Amino acid sequence: MLRDAYNRKIDYLRISVTDRCNLRCIYCMPECGIVNKPHEELLTFEEIIRIVEAGVYLGINKIRLTGGEPLVRKNLAGLVSLLNKIEGIEDISMTTNGVLLKEFARQLKQAGLKRLNISLDSLRHDRYASITRSKSLEDVLEGVAEAVEAGFDPVKINVLLLKDIDKNEIIKFLTLTLENPVCVRFLEFMPVNSFYKIENPVSCRDVLEMASGLRPIEGAAISGNGPAMAYRLKGALGTFGLISPMSHKFCSGCNRLRLTSDGSLKACLHSGIKVDLRGPIRSGAGKSELIGLIKSAAGLKPKEHELDKKDISNGYEFSMCQIGG
């Protein structure tokens, strides 16, 4: 069993399969864009499988595929199928922006993907276009519908609480759960870079207050590995969740490591410390060496993030597509 220096059990690996994305979200990517990694610097599917097999030996049993946008990586369903064949893997999920989901939802389900998180920060065409620098909202909504039809349960919709979100839009997302079997999850904004900042951001407490004004609410149970507190509006088919990394830190229960698309293993999203796995693999490292490197990465996991204590402009900053969400 893999544990960190604070005795937290580590059984969850998030794998970024690419740093490329077909959207340009204002909070994720600077207006000038980023320099993508050359293809030869990205881990191959075979290298990813070798790392996962070493992780499974240590007790890793949950996998989430991320990006960038994972669906721009060719033959992603093939990777899902390979992961699904590894004895010890109990759950494979994916986070996507949903733009290409209508095309791939059914083959991903057939390959063994169990759950989907779809990032969707607005249901308004004008605001969605402003946030993503794209006019793909209808594609995403069709992808959500296709995912539900394909049998994914639950389908989670991730809504980041950005600076221009208003009460009416939050209520619109909440009412989406009344007649749809989806889980809408509201995420507090985390100040991870200097090019996008928010003063006095909306908190999960604010969302809960708005929800209470709509209908009576009750606790709910949803499957997954994340820190969301789940609720249901009375009589609703779906649920809503609150993820509050700023107002209510959940670092004490963090059970994850992150593998970047170019082969670095990170123990914390907000730390610049990482352990290189690509170099050793391409130099002939065997399973036992990879196991040792994964153990060392877990040992570097900090007690908690310090986003509430530092000026990000003077610290470690990144674009989320370079790390994996």
Give pLDDT tens digits for 269-302: 878 889 999 999 999 999 999 999 999 999 999 9
Do the domain assignments include residue 286? Answer: yes
- Find out whether 118 and 98 touch, Cβ atoms under 8 Å: yes
143 or 310, which is more confident: 143
Confidence check: pLDDT of 222 > 80: no
Nearest of 23, 19, 16 to residue 37 by alpha carbon:
19
| Tokens found for residue 301 | 């996991």
Please tell me the total count of domains within the chain: 1
Instruction: Let me know if residue 2 belongs to a domain.
Output: no
Taking 70 as the threshold, does the pLDDT of residue 319 lie above it? no
Cis peptide before 245 (omega within 30 of 0): no
Is residue 56 within 8 A of residue 86, CB to CB? The reply is yes
Task: Return the structure tokens found at 267.
Answer: 């123990």
pLDDT band, very low/low/confident/very high, at 314 (cuts 50, 70, 90): very low
- What is the average pLDDT score of the chain? 91
What pLDDT is recorded for position 304?
Answer: 84
pLDDT at 227: 77
CATH number, residue 51 = 3.20.20.70
Q: What does the pLDDT read at residue 7?
A: 96
Establish if 306 belongs to a structural domain. Answer: yes
What is the rounded CA–CA span in Å between residue 66 and residue 316? 21
The phi, psi pair for 266, rounded to 5°, reads -115, 135
Q: Which domain holds residue 128?
A: 12-323
Distance in angstroms (rounded) separating the CA atoms of residues 315 and 40 = 29
Q: How confident is the model at residue 318 (pLDDT cuts 50, 70, 90)?
A: low
The pTM for the full model equals 0.93
Residue 170: closest CA among 205, 132, 220, 129? 205
Residue at 6 is within a domain: no
241 is a domain residue = yes
Return the HEC string of 99-148: CCHHHHHHHHHHHCCCEEEEECCCCCHHHHHHHHCCCCHHHHHHHHHHHH
pLDDT in tens, 50-101: 999 999 999 999 999 999 999 999 999 999 999 999 999 999 999 999 999 9
Question: Does the pLDDT value for residue 191 go beyond 90?
Answer: no
Could you report the per-residue pLDDT of 154-179, keeping only the tens digit for each?
A: 899 999 999 889 999 999 999 999 99
Is 221 part of any domain?
yes
pLDDT of 118 higher than 90? yes
What is residue 317's predicted lDDT score, i.e. its pLDDT?
A: 55
pLDDT of 80: 98
The residue-averaged pLDDT of 225-236 equals 87
The answer to whether position 1 is within a domain reads: no
**In the predicted model, is pLDDT for residue 315 greater than 60?**
no
Neighbours of 184 (CB within 10 A): 23
- The predicted pLDDT at position 220 comes to 85
Asked, for residue 3, whether it belongs to a domain, the answer is: no
Tokens read off for 273? 């410390």
